[in-house]
Structure 1
């Protein structure tokens, strides 16, 4: 028990953990001593004798020097290698030291000890010299923690070296290729977003074993999303196609060999797609609760904000929550189209506005023009209380300065009129719901000052259009009369000329001008004298 506590609590690690690529190879484990020092290995006593009082001058620092721990690899095939702990001990040999005892203890295992004893002749010959004892027969697993204790034989009280060591983990490429406990296979993939499929290929899988593939959501463990796909060891092409529904950042491809307690490997094709997490916002209209649950573990800040001009969303006070895995909820929320949820992860932010379709909108401000000013009413689908402030907005400023505030209680589905007669021109209404915890502030600007000018413009436009409809037809009619008159005059002139030609060139009209030569009597008659009066004969 004492050894186990030392293993967990000791901060000492006197040797490099051997995680570097390319571990040393041994053909078989063995114990080696310095040249000239003959030694042999045997199991330690089952019940070791009690320690003895050391002679003068013997101490841990004077006996043990340069004790080091490392990892070597023993292989029987390309994928059949095992890890061994190499313990190299340097010590100052004395006649009272007959050998060394090396004990190792690992998690969940009992202590294992072996004794390396020196022959009497060799230790007498090399007494007083620095010697080295090396043993590499302790088998360890990848990533395993080991506590090592080296003592002298005979055992002297208080003279012992103790250290801890952690074997290299499977992150070493050398282990991933040759140690069965670390062989996971290497996964590569192609994404088909149109068909929502992942084409997965496997390389360097464990020989003579089938291989499993699946999609899973990665958290503390990778939780599967469907059935496993098995790649048979006989298949020449080690590949499979896996369909997916959403490209979530925690959606991973997991693969492992078909052996007991096989290590697994995951690759996550969409780990950068954080924007896929900001969906699934729900609202309970009865409770007024706005909630969201992350589909993947994520470190983010979720806040309520009000969307303003230019798409900028301003955070509401005291409306932010940190999120990692659990569902978050905001209670007593007013479902207004300008109320949004902002997600911030790292230096990036995303905004989602769940009420933009006005499906859950509970109230609105309705304005109608009447008698030169706007008639403004509040229409609410639920019984609610509102703060209505009259404010003025300066030119070039987006800030509305409140001049007076009123509290209005609205009944369900009953319009509440706001008496604004005599109020200042170009003023605005700032409306906010009071009976909830989180609400947007809505500004509705009035236009009553411009009603007269708008009316004059409308009347002027109407008069212009009226005169246009009178003058335009009259002009068309006059043009038609002139055209008809000209055509008739031309026809009459042509008719007269044709008739004149038919009558010999003279017209029947009475001529008063003596210059006309075509005036002649139609018949020649002789004058008859009657009593001295000359009377012309009457024509027959």
Structure 2
């Protein structure tokens, strides 16, 4: 516990002492070395004309090691101000009585002070002594540009030192915590993508002041989306939840204290979601215009490409534009499912195919087969001219070499027969609109149609073979039934091929006791029946 307290105390002391940032001062002052007391007073409003310097007196012999720096004076944890410190070493002389330091900022009148550290130089014989002079009583603002001029009194013509200085800006963590002009508050957020919400919390805000929060789209300025909240200074939990529509890379959270000209802080939770800009592609079917306007400023190139079966999108010639904020438009575009828009940034590339659902597909063609002949017909939802090319594509090759091309005019919703003749095996049809600036080349191949063209021969032959098989099966069944019945008639009798004489059968029958009908004799059954009667 003691160690923890010691750590906190050491941190506070470190922060207040300025060791982690700018040097702290308790109050501004003017200091002179060599035990001399410095006095300051406002400079003359109307300065007397300059005099010619004495012989041997020049700027380098008077001013040595002039330096400019910034220090911080604090009256509370968040009530600190910046001061410009001017430090120089002077070679004392009987020829001048003091210094004039003027600090000028753009748009503001110069602030000049007179420093007199040696009112009795002559009587004490201190001429030639080098004295260090330091002044830090000029308050400046963060990032302020100042011009500093140091002159001698008496004022000698050409005897001055001039320099410029830029005060530290609010990027410094020290200034962000302690200088009111730099305190913006610290924003943290939690993204809830399922609910499309941003939970925002504020810390380190300016004490005793309310705080503004909003969502905005960042461009040259951050334009509000309408989502806004005011966090009261007395509220114990300083957080709010904002709904959002889309996770755009320029959608930012902006916060600032409720004071005049307060600095603002912005955090952009979706700054890496560049792919979200790819939505908003529009197509006008009447004008045949494809357009896209970025919802956020982005440095990218946008072009058109045709997607192949393997997923690779091949760029169309002369179809690329650079974009930052302006709307991108492509005129005379053929709305084919394979025609896509490609977006390329410095690090990534994305592709969107706005016609993939084929709702805007202008061209359709059908293939029918009849008695060995293939009929290919084209139809279009618009009146247009098309280039028709026949090409040969061999197995295992991705190239299709066109050997014949002709132009076809197609009326709206009227099918046109392409009158293709000859062998179509390994042959493909390539179709492209000619009256558009950007069009996809449609390829349709006939590999499967040659074998299907033999259907008008194969089907009748198959039917004949089927009939023969059915008739054969029927004859086989009839023959089997006939043979079975024949065997039933001759059941219990020896085969005619037995070697025993026929009269042996009659003798055997006569030897049986009882009526003859109980055991009919072998041979002719009908004859036995007649004898019995």
Asked if these proteins are the same fold (TM beyond 0.5), I'd say yes
Per the alignment, residue 205 of structure 1 pairs with 205
Shift of 1:121: 2.1
Helix, strand or coil at the partner of 2:276: helix
- The 1-side partners of 2:227 and 2:288 are apart by 39
Q: Partners of 1:33 and 1:476 in 2: how far apart?
A: 136
* Residue 31 (structure 2) aligns with: 32
SS in structure 2 opposite 1:512? helix
- Change beyond 3 A, Cα 1:433–1:514: closer
Kept in 2, the 8 Å contact 1:75–1:82? The answer is yes
Give the 3 Å change call, closer, same or farther, for CA 185–462 of structure 1 in structure 2: farther
Does the C-alpha gap of structure 1 residues 220 and 476 become closer, same or farther in structure 2, counting only changes over 3 Å? farther
SS in 2 for 1:165: strand
1:395, CA displacement in angstroms?
3.3
Q: What's the CA shift for 1:475?
A: 8.2
Q: How big is the shift at 1:466?
A: 5.9
Corresponding residue of 1:4:
none
Relative to structure 1, the CA distance from residue 471 to residue 423 in structure 2 (aligned partners, 3 Å threshold; closer, same or farther) is closer
* 1:51 alignment counterpart: 50
- Please state how far the C-alpha of 1:306 moved relative to its aligned partner: 0.6
TM-aligned CA deviation for residue 402 of structure 1: 1.6
Which secondary structure does the structure 1 equivalent of 2:506 belong to? coil
Does structure 1 retain, via aligned residues, the 8 Å contact 2:370–2:453? no
Q: Report if aligned partners of 1:426, 1:449 keep a CA contact under 8 Å in 2.
A: no
Matched with 1:69 is 68
Q: Could you tell me whether the CA contact under 8 Å between 1:37 and 1:122 is conserved in 2?
A: no
What is the match of residue 295 of structure 1?
295
Displacement of 1:422 in angstroms is: 3.1
Q: 1:97 to 1:463 in 2, by over 3 A?
A: farther
Greater Cα shift, 410-419 or 123-132: 123-132
Aligned-pair distance for 1:21?
Answer: 5.2
Is the Cα contact below 8 Å between 2:43 and 2:100 reproduced in 1?
Answer: yes
Distance 1:334 1:21, change over 3 A: farther
Secondary structure, in 3 states, of the residue corresponding to 1:87? strand
Counterpart of 2:410 in structure 1 is: 410
- Look up the match of 1:286: 286
Give the CA deviation at 1:407: 1.6
Aligned counterpart for 2:513 among listed residues 504, 516, 519 = 519
Q: Is the 8 A contact 1:21 1:173 kept in 2?
A: no
Deviates more, 1:196-205 or 1:122-131: 122-131
Which shifted more, 273-282 or 419-428? Answer: 419-428
Partner of 1:128: 128
Deviation at 1:227, TM superposition (A): 3.8
**Contact 2:371/2:454 (CA < 8 Å) preserved in 1?**
no
| Correspondence for 2:116 | 117
Q: Give the drift of 1:472.
A: 7.5
Residue 35 (structure 1) shift: 2.3
CA–CA distance in structure 2, aligned partners of residues 203 and 455 of structure 1: 83
SS in 2 for 1:301: strand
Give ranges in structure 2 of 5+ residues lacking alignment.
Answer: 1-17, 493-504, 517-533
1:142 is aligned to 142
- Maintained 8 Å contact 1:105/1:111: yes
Aligned pair 1:80/2:74, yes or no?
no
CA gap 1:42/1:175 in 2 versus in 1, 3 angstroms: same
Structure-2 separation of matches of 1:476 and 1:60: 135
Root mean square deviation, CA, Å: 2.9
CA drift of 1:387 comes to 1.3
Quick check: 1:213–1:255 contact (8 Å CA) kept in 2?
yes
Describe the superposition over 1:96-145 as per-residue Cα deviations: whole angstroms up to 9, x where unpaired.
12111111111221111111113332475432132211111111111111
Q: Give the Cα separation in 2 of the matches to 1:50 and 1:361.
A: 87
* Structure 1, 20-29 or 151-160: larger mean CA deviation: 20-29
Question: Kindly tell me: are residues 67 and 465 of structure 1, through their superposed partners in 2, closer, same or farther at Cα, counting changes over 3 Å?
Answer: farther
- The equivalent of 2:352 in structure 1 is 352
Give the TM-score normalised by the residue count of structure 1.
0.83
Distance 2:22 2:427 in 1: 81
Partner of 1:228, secondary structure, is: strand
Alpha carbons 2:387, 2:434 under 8 Å: kept: yes
Aligned length: 484
Superposed CA deviations along residues 54-95 of structure 1, whole A, max 9, x for unmatched, are 112222222211111111111111111111111111222222
5+ unaligned residues in a row in structure 1: which ranges? 1-18, 494-510, 523-540
Name the counterpart of 1:23.
22
How far apart, in 2, do the equivalents of 1:240 and 1:345 lie?
Answer: 34
